Structure 1
């Protein structure tokens, strides 16, 4: 049964905060959507994944000052997060060609990319310097983007994903950001090895929201997958997810020697750099291979590594941001083909539901993702 109504298209409603100290208690808020551009798509939201990056933004952990939205001169001083969105197209700008009304689509962490710069044209639209985030991004007119814990979201069609019918909405939601974030570096990091007919070895560090999907995706891509964690507490889960082996860095004594010259790629999905044994990890890489980090810690944390470590294998440390739209479509096709499914707990959206999801995520009480559901019932939508 609906608990609220939305005067769409004049207003959107969502759960937002106006002060980082209230991060765990977003309140239902009404706000005016951005002006509809010719290439914009309105999505009536069905469900939305809950991502750790949203928690960091709400807590203001990635900024030394106030949340950008709270200091903006535009509109209400509030921020609604959420960027693992699945829903139905209910409005099209006059120049939209890729989507049709009623189509089920997804939206990840970006709501806009220019599609004109060299990065966009080279399949790296996630690195577009003019990109606008799905939430807490600022458009040229000063409008601050609002995210997916809401009735609707408006985004440029270049950022919207078509979703295969074979994928369930609450399971594909975490793939919009979390899955895509690990898919892009996995694909780019081992495709040269796969092209030679060699089975690559991939080490996935940190078995959480990102890492558990990385295990499934790397396995589907054809890799030997070794899960790496500080303790053995998640070993059983990692094996169930498809890991071929497990390394507990906090209890095994000579794990780097036992795995020397093993990995074609190390993918760091841990959300903290504290106690990350980077010098030891790099010793397990093959020559000229990469350690890629996608887990983002508190802004004050730093990697610690000796420059001499690199000399042993010519290894490289790097990072990866999200993934391109083309890679998102590839990921969905891979998930449909191999039928891997993120481990998801659903929570009906409401003030209490959003608070529960954020609080439990902050406490680490999740295995391994949350998806907020029941949007149509709560907002009285889903009737178009």
Structure 2
């Protein structure tokens, strides 16, 4: 139930105004979606910086609806809760990931939402947490801000024992890698490869180990990542730039690969060659250009498959957070003040994060 009669009509945050907004966001007011009894207002304490934020600020995935406030790894405190929200109460520590709405709020749901796969909604498609449009016509704004307003169905509780700075990146980077691992049988008996060791990839290693995979192999270009990968718990590391015969030496050695790389120049055919019979490569990295060319025999000879995955539904996010709390999963993060968002996002673009920057609103913690 709401703690007050009125509802804020403006929030303050870092606003991108055009394609040159990386490092040039402006601190100003914006209008959240019109309040509904299904909504939750969150006082933002932490928000992770995601590669999606960069793509969106520069219109890399298509035209952005400026003005835009990015950030979809949001953790904070529920300060206003709609009367139709029954799983969140005022004062709860909560989080919001990359999705903020779907047709699950309609009387007649699409088959995906009816099955609990809201991230695959095909009736209206997903409304992203920022740069999207809600069912009520309001525009979505993200977490580089003092407050966030999101329909309660997509607001999850953060379990005790999980630090806010660790929980925040799990809400996008975490679920992006957890979902394809869990959905494709990662566990005892599986040999798992994680391609790309960054914000997404380092989570992939952590989840594969937490889920009990027999063998976890980190794969990246440079030898310099080897120490980090082994520290994260991987059993082995492949440096593709420095090991000349890696594609031959490790051919057929993996059952499941999660590829977080978003480069159109990646050696995708060689990655497919790492799979054993009936192996599966799941692509989660999203280049702004086309993927490299594959040949039919990359699939046919050993019955291999190439798939894709996009975040996960709220119930699976809750499952993931609980696993993290129980297993003590701790991502590698660096906290940066919200007031320093412009500098932090430039450092993110330079690839300096090891492995996730978390904006902290020092006024709210």
Query: What is residue 357 of structure 2 aligned with on the other side?
Result: 370
Q: After superposition, give the CA deviation of every residue in 1:327-364 in whole Å (9 maximum; x if it has no partner).
A: 111111111111121110000111xx111111001111
Contact residue 113 and residue 158 of structure 1 kept, 8 A: no
Cα distance per residue 1:227-246 (max 9 Å; x no partner): 01122110100000011001
Q: Shift of the alpha carbon at 1:140?
A: 4.2
For 1:161, which of 128, 141, 156 is the aligned residue? 156
TM-score by length of 2: 0.93
Deviates more, 1:110-119 or 1:78-87: 110-119
Q: Which residue does the alignment assign to 2:91? A: 102
1:308 pairs with 2:297: yes
Q: What residue number does 2:138 align with? A: 143
Matches within 5 A, 1:114-129: 114-115=103-104, 116-129=109-122
2:228 corresponds to which of 224, 237, 240: 237
CA distance in 1, matches of 2:321, 2:136: 34
* Deviations, residues 196-232 of structure 1 (Å, cap 9, x unaligned): xx42110000001100111011110011110011221
Partner of residue 220 from structure 1, selected from 204, 210, 221: 210
User: 2:348 — aligned with what?
Assistant: 361
Which structure ranks higher in relative contact order (CA pairs < 8 Å, sequence separation ≥ 6)?
1
- SS for the counterpart of 2:183 is helix
Output the CA distance in 1 between the equivalents of 2:135 and 2:231.
47
Structure 1 residue 255, shift from structure 2 partner: 2.2
Aligned to 1:51: 50
Q: CA–CA distance in 2 between the matches of 1:256 and 1:314?
A: 18
In structure 2, the residue matched to 1:199 is 189
What SS does the aligned partner of 1:20 have?
Answer: coil
- Residue 207 of structure 2 aligns to a residue in which SS? helix
Contact 2:267 2:292 in 1 (8 A): no
Residue among 233, 254, 271 paired with 1:281: 271
Give the corresponding residue for 1:190: 185
Does the CA contact (< 8 Å) of 2:32 and 2:139 recur in 1? no
What are the within-5 Å matches in structure 2 for residues 234-383 of structure 1?
Answer: 234-274=225-265, 276-298=266-288, 300-350=289-339, 353-375=340-362, 377=363
Deviation at 1:365, TM superposition (A): 1.2
For structure 1, which segment, 154-163 or 7-16, has the greater mean C-alpha deviation from structure 2 after superposition?
7-16
Cα displacement (A) at 1:289:
2.1
Question: Aligned to 1:87, what secondary structure does the other structure show?
Answer: strand
Q: Is the 8 A contact 2:258 2:281 kept in 1?
A: yes
> For the residues of structure 2 that align with 1:8 and 1:363, how far apart are their CA atoms?
39
The equivalent residue for 2:3 is none
- Tell me the secondary structure at the aligned position of residue 177 of structure 1: helix
Report the Cα distance in structure 2 between the residues aligned to 1:96 and 1:8, rounded to whole angstroms. 16
Call closer, same or farther: CA 1:32–1:281 in 2, change over 3 Å. closer
SS across alignment from 1:174: helix
Where 2:279 maps in the other structure, the secondary structure is: strand
Give the superposition deviation at 1:154. Answer: 0.9
Q: Deviation digits for residues 24-64 of structure 1, max 9, x if unmatched?
A: 1111111222111121111111110110111110011111x
C-alpha separation between the residues in 2 aligned to 1:22 and 1:177?
22
Q: Which runs of 5+ in 2 are unaligned?
A: 1-5
Number of equivalences: 353
Structure-1 separation of matches of 2:189 and 2:317:
23
- Structure 1 window deviating more from structure 2 (132-141 vs 320-329): it is 132-141
CA-atom RMSD in angstroms:
1.6
Q: What TM-score do you get using the length of structure 1 for normalisation?
A: 0.88
